[in-house]
Amino acid sequence: MIYLLLSILCTTLLILAFKIFERRGIPVFQAIVFNYLSATACALIFLPDKSRLFSGEVFSSAWLPLSLLLGSFFIIIFNLTSITTIRYGVSTASIAMKLGLVFPVLLAFTIYGESFNWMKLTGILFAFAAVILSSLKEEPKSPEHKSSFAFLPIIVFAGSGACDSLTQYANKKYLSNTGIEEFSLFLFVAAGLVGLLIFIFQLVTKRTSFNINSLIGGILLGIANYFSFLFLLEALATISWGSSVVFPVSNLGTVAVATLAGILFFKEKISKINLLGLAFAVVSIVLIIVSSGVLDIAHA
């Protein structure tokens, strides 16, 4: 249970960091690139058995191609989410991203044979409603809101779901006992390399210029990002509830904590419909946990 709580906390820090970047005019893509390079450094520092890495043993691991593929997806979807935010606003982007949890939840029931009952189904339906209601904001449409970019929210929705599903598959197939730290390392390496190549291209073509604040912000962001993903993998590997519970609770927990943090630290105003969404989130988490037979959370 502690891993799930820590993952929610670290993910919330990521969201708060982007709010700070936006307010201080820090180029987000640069910060994203440096974030993955920083996360790679963290993964190397905290790697428990570096001998496997330097001996080359880890390069023959069955999960390596999946880790590299997932890392490439991560930075692409992360960047597309920022573009969607600019074109369509925060509401559309956050809904498209957070509703991606539908994919691992459905796979948990249909492919991985996790337990199913009507209480859990009701909790999941409440989860979807909570995500939508919590994400709705009263904000004017951007003048750049053009129908030619209508495919972007769909890509973010499908891409986020694919990332969650691949993480779920990696946990089920390869990471139930060992390899979590190594898997995370190569995921961040792939994301960092893809981002670095794009950033170098932008520098060479003079489409951007280096920003020192992006470097500093990216380093701090990478630390939170590393532990967020690591703790999520640890939660999937150690909590007996199953991924059909872990993903909704993690997602909704992040929504609730991030919203409260926004109110406390950024003086954000929350509408009645957002409050209703938070209420749905609480009910959803309770229903999902109770339906899974988890009454003594401390022993999870």
Q: What is the pLDDT of residues 34-68, one digit of tens each?
A: 999 999 999 999 888 788 777 777 788 889 999 99
Q: Give yes or no for residue 145 having a pLDDT over 90.
A: no
pLDDT at position 19: 77
Question: Using CA atoms, how far apart are residues 27 and 284, in angstroms rounded to an integer?
Answer: 36
Question: Using CA atoms, how far apart are residues 180 and 231, in angstroms rounded to an integer?
Answer: 10
pTM of the model: 0.79
Question: Using CA atoms, how far apart are residues 109 and 213, in angstroms rounded to an integer?
Answer: 44
Six token digits for residue 135: 């994400």
Question: Which region among 33-47, 135-149, 165-179, 194-208 has the lowest average model confidence (pLDDT)?
Answer: 135-149
Determine contact, residues 219/38, Cβ cutoff 8 Å.
yes
Task: Region of 293 please: left (phi>0), alpha (psi -120 to 50) or beta.
Answer: left
If pLDDT is split at 50, 70 and 90, which confidence band does 263 have? confident
Q: Higher pLDDT residue, 139 or 169?
A: 169
List, for residues 203-255, the tens digit of each pLDDT value: 999 988 999 999 999 999 999 999 998 898 888 888 777 777 788 788 778 87
Share of the chain above pLDDT 90, in %: 27
Question: Using CA atoms, how far apart are residues 173 and 142, in angstroms rounded to an integer?
Answer: 43
**Helical H segments across the chain, by residue range:** 2-24, 28-45, 50-54, 64-88, 90-98, 102-110, 118-135, 151-173, 180-204, 212-238, 243-266, 272-291
Six token digits for residue 148: 């030619």
Please identify which residue in the block is written with the tokens 């996360």: 39
Q: Give yes or no for residue 144 having a pLDDT over 60.
A: no
pLDDT at position 11: 86
Q: Give yes or no for residue 187 having a pLDDT over 60.
A: yes
Six token digits for residue 151: 């495919």
Torsion of CA 125, 126, 129, 134, to 10 degrees: -150
**pLDDT average, residue stretch 187-203:** 94
If pLDDT is split at 50, 70 and 90, which confidence band does 93 have? low
pLDDT at position 123: 81
Count CA atoms within 13 Å of residue 87 on its CB side. 16
Q: Give yes or no for residue 297 having a pLDDT over 60.
A: no
If pLDDT is split at 50, 70 and 90, which confidence band does 86 have? low
Question: Using CA atoms, how far apart are residues 241 and 254, in angstroms rounded to an integer?
Answer: 18
Six token digits for residue 34: 């440096």
**pLDDT average, residue stretch 19-47:** 90
Q: Give yes or no for residue 95 having a pLDDT over 50.
A: yes
**pLDDT average, residue stretch 55-83:** 85
Question: Using CA atoms, how far apart are residues 273 and 259, in angstroms rounded to an integer?
Answer: 13
Question: Using CA atoms, how far apart are residues 83 and 80, in angstroms rounded to an integer?
Answer: 5
pLDDT at position 135: 66
If pLDDT is split at 50, 70 and 90, which confidence band does 266 have? confident
